Structure 1
Amino acid sequence: MGALTGALEPLGLAWRIPAEADRLGDVIVVLPDGRELGLQLKSAALITADSLPGQLRRWSKGSESAVASVAVADRITADARDGLNQAGWSWLDLRGHLRLTGPGVFIDSDVPALTSPVVERRALSGRVGIELAALLLLTPDRGIGVRAAATMLSRAPSSVSEALAALRAEGLVDGANKPEVPHLFWELAENWQPVSQDVASIPGPGRRADNAALRLGLDEVETTVGWALTETVAAAVYGAPVSTRASHPPDFYVPDRATLRRAVQLLGTATTASSRAGRVRVAPVPLVCSRRVDATAWAKDEWPLANPLFVALDLAQDPGRGREILDGWTPREVGVRVW
């Protein structure tokens, strides 16, 4: 509420807090002619075109019809702003823009940026929050309890409980511990920062000693830890609308940084783009290499695949091409669309 009232004051608009009996929302704007406009506030860390439909459905439940609805967020993307306008919602982007519409009022103006956002974005600021978000998105239709999640992530229940409470407070998880899709996916995408290194060669047959040292994990793929194919090549195997040639350099997730260092040592460092045979990465979460997919029953590629969730998170790092691919991709053989 303080964020909105702080944006109203520089525009010369007075406001007051409604009495309980008023039923006029969270704050009332007093217009220059003395009339009043009730505003009901809904907050989020991020609003995108993908997250907006679900957010509007949730926010519309229990909303008072006699007041104007205002979405307040740390960041509202341009296409989400258009969607809010079309839906008849007012909005405040805390980076510095207010659009407020209602009977007798129309404001579409830059305002001072807020240094203290309405929602403290801390749910995905630590490793446990990122790991928990990934775990929830792997099974979006099934809520996971604190102790079960702690066991799966090898984390202390107290840490998982704190991370889950933060996710819930930011509207990223519902009361049943189910992720708010696709909102949580795009929040996780913003915090998805693998460590990567280009290499001059990739593992292959006839290199048994090297392959063992690299912890490829080619046996019993879905119950062991090992390398996982991701990015463009994996997306193509999954049937995503990507254009790729047979010689496209593959991207692999490896179990840990020690394996990445060993891979660079054994496979060589690619010093130029033309000498790059592939890329090895360490994911922000161990789940990538412990929840791999064996696609040999339905695809020609023999490499274990990263789950479609993690492939999608990699693609999402490209705001142009990646978003276009994700818009047209719904996993068929395995995985769930959460973007």
Structure 2
Amino acid sequence: MSNTHRFVKESYTLSTHQDNFVPDINIAFAIDKNYLRPCGVTLFSITEHNKDLNIDFHIFTTFFDRFGYDEILANNPNIRIHVYILDTQAYDHLQVNGHFTTAIYYRLSIADILKDKVERFLYLDADILCFRSLKKLVQFDLSPYVLAAVQDKCMKKEYMLSIGLDTNKKYFNSGVMFINIAAWHKNDVFNKFNALINEKIYKFPDQDVLNFILSDHVYFLDQEFNYFTQDPIDPVIMHFVSSPKPWNVAAPHSQKYLPYYYKSPWKDIPLDMPRNSKEAKKYAKILWKKGKFFESLKWYLIYINKKLNK
């Protein structure tokens, strides 16, 4: 265990072997304690479809529990997992909005932490599953760009205009970013971000500001690498952007997620229960459709109680 960086309190590596290991791709996550299990399921799904790639996973977090991760390591000799326990003081002054916490900013320091270790990395949110090989990304030439990402076709031009973004340019989703570390530093992204983030209130704080800074430095990947629309495609990476998340019993469209969840080391951990009135109402509807009328009524009453006591 070592103290390695101004953003990092301590770091360590989980591995069944560390000698002569050369990764084909580096994949990074930035999470808080609440996303440790979903992150593990994402990681599990990647290993299921990439047995022929050597992968270094980098998990940036404020808390880490090895449960589940050791099992994935034991079953996948082609991976290592590097854990970085973050010092969050640098992020505590930044704005948060709605369900977002300051954890959305942890990803911004990854390029700084890894700059002497890797040339590029794939950043992934933890509400993601991998369904196919990542070999296309391994072979992609990222050198002319700061990052490669997928256009967020759901972003409304009215909102872009309201925060001063050029509506003639594409807006990317920051949940999947293939980042060129040298170009990130050359464009001084971290300092530019900190200069802009508190100038106005943003609905999607980290994503909006990154779109300001990098509008001319992004390669737009096909949506198969960050799929969150209804378009009929076969995705490599599927992003569960809606709420509640698919590991919650109130999620209405979790049929693609749950087969991976129930094959993962976390299969015996119950799904999350509804946390608020909206989730309680959705769960009541799901139970009603399943014919569980008594349980549905119970959760509808819980919904009413939560709504009245907001």
TM-score (norm 1): 0.31
TM-score (norm 2): 0.34
Larger radius of gyration: 1
Q: Which has the higher contact order (CA 8 A, sep 6+)?
A: 2
